[in-house]
Amino acid sequence: MRSVSVIGIGETQMGRFPARSLREMVSIAGEKAILDAGVEKKEIQALYIGNFVAQQLCGQGHMGSQASEVLGLGNIPTVRTEAACASGSEAFRMGLIAVMSGIYDIVLVGGVEKMTHRNTETVTEAIASAMDYELEMMEGFTFPANFAMIASRYFHEYRNVKREMALCAVNAHHNASLNPDAQMPKEVTLEAVLSAQRIADPLSIFDCSLVTDGAAFVVLATTEIAKRLGRHRVVEVIGSGHAGDVITLAAKKSITSFAAATSAAAQAYKAACLGPGDIDLAEVHDCFTITQIINIEDLGFFERGHGGDAVAEGVTALGGKKPINTSGGLKAKGHPIGATGISQIYEIVTQLRGDAGPRQVRKADIGLTHNLGGTAGTCLIHIFRGE
Amino acid sequence: MRSVSVIGIGETQMGRFPARSLREMVSIAGEKAILDAGVEKKEIQALYIGNFVAQQLCGQGHMGSQASEVLGLGNIPTVRTEAACASGSEAFRMGLIAVMSGIYDIVLVGGVEKMTHRNTETVTEAIASAMDYELEMMEGFTFPANFAMIASRYFHEYRNVKREMALCAVNAHHNASLNPDAQMPKEVTLEAVLSAQRIADPLSIFDCSLVTDGAAFVVLATTEIAKRLGRHRVVEVIGSGHAGDVITLAAKKSITSFAAATSAAAQAYKAACLGPGDIDLAEVHDCFTITQIINIEDLGFFERGHGGDAVAEGVTALGGKKPINTSGGLKAKGHPIGATGISQIYEIVTQLRGDAGPRQVRKADIGLTHNLGGTAGTCLIHIFRGE
């Protein structure tokens, strides 16, 4: 297997852009990534694109072909992947495997989502297609409801971490205030989060991630090509893990730890020959604040039941020992679902290159992305090293 | 790269089964394929599933995770691919690359579609998500309209092949009459086809493929494992081609030859070290009868403008020199969109194993599948050899 690196990155501003088309967002982020890589379009040999709900919300499928037309990529093969909120990371892994294995040398990988032009009910129903339609959606389940049950169970098994969950939101908004691409770049206070409107007990509105329009793209190439280009610090993909689980909440063995995440993490650490202690910073899938606490435990950063302690002690804050979601995360940078996994990688590469400006982490050599799909029915984890 | 073979196949009856759930179809076809392969479920390391419109018609996304739950595959990684009507073949190629490259040794690949429970208008709109929503769908384009323009252009550039198109339908229905899984297993006469109701001139209803519920699965493994199992004639995947094109009809350089198909064919022939003359039989994407004529020219089986002659001379019929769509094709076996690419492979493997009963092709050593997405915005071609 060949070593693979990220040679170019690009993303749109994240936010509410109901007048922006899928084509426009693909064009902005895709062109940025290609320009950043410094390669010619004719050198790109394949396109992988993650998208979750454009078929339901925009009437648009076959987005590989559409994106290829928008970006003028000729007759290259294209693939759309969909695994709910992990759609982007699946595109990344498919592109990674193709370059690792020698099928292609340079590929473009992206994700895009357009959501805010539709009303809340329509968006909620579309997002619910990530769960089982007959067994969950038709019974009235929604994602806030699912993750409220997960939080309640976590409180039962360990302790009430409502305050620590609120601190996750406070951190996320602080980091987002330093990220020009963030949807909600404004600070919030602990008191504001704790007194916010309830959505599904114990989750309040500040415990939930955002509905976002946006796109993100990266260019992957062999590390040999990355070194030859010499434009940026080389950011090598040193570990990739991909695992799954049953789709329904009720069928899971545990809901306070996600089997897909622990399995994907083990694969990624093994491939990278590293452990949790070696990771300088991580972007994790904080679809809800409770999810962030579970994720940092699943990744082995902190002991079971103690993720909240780490948050309370400032370990996961921007200046802490293990900064989490320096971008602002799904919570405050935004959650353009099909693009989320790629936007996480955008942040890690930006940090490893030392280009993160006021939110730059001092020691940023090894970064990790953790992307969940649905109620943790899918998880992809990638580890990156700045050379 | 390692040699990869198809070690198990399974499909459902194709047809109108509005009461069958996605789960039920996945279960039927997936369990058949695993049983046919003779492997344990715990030996399957990943699942790739093609689906086109379940999000729109069934409210169901994240189908990798759902299918894994249905089939009891534990925590293996899953991927859903979507490239309109080529969704199934994209899943196949992703699985193939993973086994070729040594990531996994045994993977399950499938496709499923559920369509007939919704009304015609809803289904037509969902299918149109394979074209550009803003530039085509909103202007009133539908797939019969697109392919009617393609047929008209073909008539203009070469000659009127309305009668030859009708003969494609006659052949398809004859072959389907010998296929127990076919949706329309009844013979039709040339006169009946030529006098049938017009849909979009020059296409009549018998020029159009079917709306179908169904699923198909295959198990892929290294050829070494296939030989060790020794259950069936080993069917090796000796060539894979994947190419794309712009999504919109108006942006294509030619619409009487599909650039995605000629590029994918060149890749597959090169990988297999074979040419068009070496192919004993093929399943090609006859979404419309005119498409079959263009496809057999794009594959190099016949000269430009002469595909219709070959059909008229009986070359592509079941007893002919180059039998096309022995299954009945999309036209008469059915077109369960996300499953179509896998069902094509099901037929080729069945033929290469010598298990096709009354529709068995006498010399069936090398077979080819050709699967288009949208208005030929995507094409995947695979070549198989019985060892």
Amino acid sitting at position A247: I
Is the four-CA dihedral B269, B270, B275, B280 of positive or negative sign? negative
Q: Is A273 a catalytic residue?
A: no
Could A65 and B100 be called an inter-chain contact, meaning their C-beta atoms sit closer than 8 Å?
no
Who among B46, B82, B377 is closest to A82 (CB)?
Answer: B82
Touching check for B196 and chain A: CB below 8 Å?
no
Q: What are phi and psi of A86, to 5 degrees?
A: -100, 15
Tokens found for residue A142: 């929604």
- DSSP letters along A141-208, please? --HHHHHHHHHHHHHHHS---HHHHHHHHHHHHHHHTT-TT-S------HHHHHTSPEEETTEEGGGB
3-state SS class at B189: coil
C-alpha torsion angle, residues B95, B100, B106, B108 (rounded to 10): 10
Q: What is the pLDDT of residues B88-134, one digit of tens each?
A: 999 999 999 999 999 999 999 999 999 999 999 999 999 999 999 99
**Mutation target vs A (from B21, B51, B65, B94; most A CBs, 10 A cutoff):** B65
What are the tokens at B348? 């080729």
Backbone angles phi, psi at A161, to 5 degrees: -120, 30
Closest to B318 (Cα-Cα) out of B334, B329, B305: B329
Q: What is the pLDDT along chain A (387 residues), one digit of tens a residue?
A: 999 999 999 999 999 999 999 999 999 999 999 999 999 999 999 999 999 999 999 999 999 999 999 999 999 999 999 999 999 999 999 999 999 999 999 999 999 999 999 999 999 999 999 999 999 999 999 999 999 999 999 999 999 999 999 999 999 999 999 999 999 999 999 999 999 999 999 999 999 999 999 999 999 999 999 999 999 999 999 999 999 999 999 999 999 999 999 999 999 999 999 999 999 999 999 999 999 999 999 999 999 999 999 999 999 999 999 999 999 999 999 999 999 999 999 999 999 999 999 999 999 999 999 999 999 999 999 999 999
Q: Pairing mode, if any, of strands B47-50 and B78-82?
A: parallel
pTM recorded for the entire structure: 0.98
Determine the pLDDT at residue A185. 97
Instruction: Provide the 3-class DSSP secondary structure of residue B381.
Output: strand
Neighbour-count burial for A84-117, b at 16+ CB within 10 Å, e otherwise? bbbbbbbbbbbbbbbbbbebbbbbbbbbbbbbbb
Question: How far lies A354's CA from each of A167, A226, A238, B167, in Å?
Answer: 26, 17, 19, 65
Q: How far is A361 from chain B (nearest CA, A)?
A: 32
Residues of chain B contacting residue A129, judged by C-beta atoms under 8 Å apart: 55, 59-62
> Min CA distance, B363 vs chain A (Å)?
32
So what's the pLDDT on residue B180?
98
Structure-token pair, residue A23: 């084509």
Q: Please list, in sequence order, all residues whose beta carbon lies within 8 angstroms of the beta carbon of residue B37, skipping any fewer than 6 positions away.
A: B7, B8, B219, B221, B229, B231
**Best CA proximity match to B209, nearest among B73, B378, B2, B14:** B14
Cβ–Cβ gap B65/A75 under 8 Å: no
Calpha distance B204→B186 (Å, rounded): 18
Cβ atoms A327, A371 nearer than 8 A: no
Query: Which DSSP category does B208 fall into?
Result: B
Euclidean distance between CA atoms B133 and B201, whole angstroms = 23
CA distance B62 to chain A (A): 5
CA-nearest of A286, A288, A274 to A343 is A286
CA-wise closest residue to A284 among A152, A364, A159, A376: A376
Burial grade of B110 (CB within 10 A; 0-12, 13-18, 19 or more) = buried
Which sign does the torsion angle of CA B338, B343, B349, B352 carry? negative
Phi and psi angles of residue A204, each rounded to the nearest 5 degrees, phi first? -105, 175
How far does the CA of residue A20 sit from the closest CA of chain B (Å)?
Answer: 12
Q: CB–CB of B57/B118 below 8 Å?
A: yes
The CA distance from A248 to A361, in Å, is 37
Q: Quick check: B114 and B25 in contact, CB under 8 A?
A: yes
Nearest CB partner across the interface for A55, out of B75, B129, B246: B129
Q: What is the DSSP letter of A77?
A: -
Q: In this predicted structure, what is the pLDDT of residue B183?
A: 98
Mapped onto helix, strand or coil, the DSSP state of residue A236 is: strand
Q: What is the pLDDT of residues B179-217, one digit of tens each?
A: 999 999 999 999 999 999 999 999 999 999 999 999 999
Question: What torsion, rounded to 10 degrees, do the Cα atoms B139, B145, B150, B152 define?
Answer: -110
> Active-site positions of B?
85, 335
Cβ contact A259–B79 (<8 Å): no
- Alpha-carbon distance of A208 to B13, in angstroms, equals 44
CB crowding A44-56: b at 16 or more within 10 Å, else e: bbbbbbbbbbbbb
Residue in A285, A335, A370, A382 annotated catalytic: A335
Tell me the per-residue pLDDT of B268-308, one tens digit each, with 9 for 90 and over.
Answer: 999 999 999 999 999 999 999 999 999 999 999 999 999 99
Q: Which residues of A touch B373 (CB under 8 A)?
A: 62, 65
Q: Which two tokens stand for residue A38?
A: 């410094």
B21 touches A: beta carbon within 8 Å: yes
The confidence band for B55, taking pLDDT boundaries of 50, 70 and 90, is very high
**Cα distances (Å, whole numbers) of residue A185 to A14, A117, A327:** 10, 21, 10
Segment B214-236 shows an average pLDDT of: 98
Asked if A80 and B79 come within 8 Å (Cβ–Cβ), the reply is no
Please give the mean pLDDT across all residues of chain B: 98
pLDDT tens, position by position, B17-50: 999 999 999 999 999 999 999 999 999 999 999 9
Query: What is the token pair recorded at B62?
Result: 């994240």
Verify whether the Cβ–Cβ distance B97 to A98 is below 8 Å.
Answer: yes
Q: State the complex-level ipTM.
A: 0.98
DSSP summary character for residue B222: E
Cβ atoms of residues B80 and A82 within 8 Å: yes
> What share of chain B has pLDDT > 90, as a percent?
100
Q: Using one digit for the tens of pLDDT, what is the confidence trace for A242-297?
A: 999 999 999 999 999 999 999 999 999 999 999 999 999 999 999 999 999 999 99
